[in-house]
Homo-oligomer: A and B are copies of this chain.
């Protein structure tokens, strides 16, 4: 029989979650520079009494992807301090190691439950448009080109709400809970480094969460599998400049290599075993019309309905780029800046969640699964790692009203969704012992 939730505490924490969310939203920080966010989160968890593992202890350095330059990291650290980052925690996170794992051990037998939330904002300028709630209510982002337009401010707040609730009810808790606060999910850059550090190797039951994504308000998806495996990469072509009028034959055009590569990448074959994607989304190349372009920068991603298809797309991409460089005798550098896997939720664990969600009676509708792939998520790195170690894993989505789509500069969500997310996560953590007894 499930332990009932303490609705008074839930109500109180709901107010806090709104407050935290708005503070995080106002001080939105992009991937790997969540210095204010991570120091504040760490401080709160520490004060609650969680056992903390921070920074390099939970992030494998060489597994990070798409990390900004040292200059930018240093400047952002400074910026964060000026905006209220808590200096005493900074040494742990300095240099782009903005990850946190908080553990609560009940001392009683029971499974280890892991919950992952992400903390980063998007590289996007927030809208100042009339009617955009964060602007009207005074919590729009103060940071240029950094906006919580994907709801991670909500995720972090839910994580904090859950941390409070579990500590308040630790007497009833069994087993262990690990709360994972991940950096740099945007661009799928951060999860691999935490998974590679082994932070979920002892987790029996794992859940990552997201709000919104088109799921109607009041509904929950207990085992979403609509993710494509993906590899995100940048390509730099380095040619040789020359004057386009005077001695064009001495140039080696990075732009021609980029053009051939672009067409070559988009001509990679479809795959008979499922959906694939390829996109050259950005090209920045050349310095002037009268100069054979020395440099071209491309931002590319490929995806696949399963990991094999994505591997095929990426392997072919590498050949295309090497060949295009060879055609124009230019040098190139390919840098993987993000990656995610496809991962299928564990059926038994999803059924358990479905049952708990139904029991809660707070959802209009409870979906076991959801098809129709589209985006990518690096929580899949955690999921695959958990399953490799014998655990079970899932990805949950909490539906809510959206003011505009994800990654739109007017994105906003109905904060009520955080309550239901807290309820279900709390219920799972408090009752996880049931799962093992089944």
On A, residues with C-beta under 8 Å from B are 228, 230, 232, 243-249, 251, 253, 255-256, 258-260, 262-264, 266-267, 269-273, 275-293, 296, 299-301, 303, 312, 316, 319-320, 322-329, 373-376, 407
What chain B residues lie within 8 Å of A244 (beta carbons)?
Answer: 277, 279, 281, 301, 303
**A273, A286, A316, A329, most chain B CB atoms within 10 A:** A286
Q: Which residue of B lies closest to A275 (CB)?
A: B270
The 21 listed contacts between A and B (C-beta, < 8 Å) are A243-B374, A245-B301, A245-B303, A249-B271, A249-B273, A249-B312, A259-B263, A259-B280, A260-B260, A269-B292, A272-B374, A275-B275, A281-B289, A282-B289, A284-B284, A289-B299, A290-B301, A319-B328, A320-B327, A323-B324, A327-B327
- Asked if residues A280 and B264 are in contact (CB atoms below 8 Å), the reply is no
Partner of A248, one of B262, B269, B289, B299: B269
- Asked if residues A255 and B280 are in contact (CB atoms below 8 Å), the reply is yes
What chain B residues lie within 8 Å of A272 (beta carbons)?
Answer: 246-249, 275, 374
Partner of A326, one of B230, B326, B376: B326
A16 to B253, CA, bound (A): 44
> Given contacts A283-B296, A375-B246, is CB(A270)–CB(B277) below 8 Å?
yes
What chain B residues lie within 8 Å of A316 (beta carbons)?
Answer: 329
Q: Which residue of B lies closest to A406 (CB)?
A: B243
Q: Which residue of B lies closest to A227 (CB)?
A: B245
**A232, A269, A373, most chain B CB atoms within 10 A:** A269
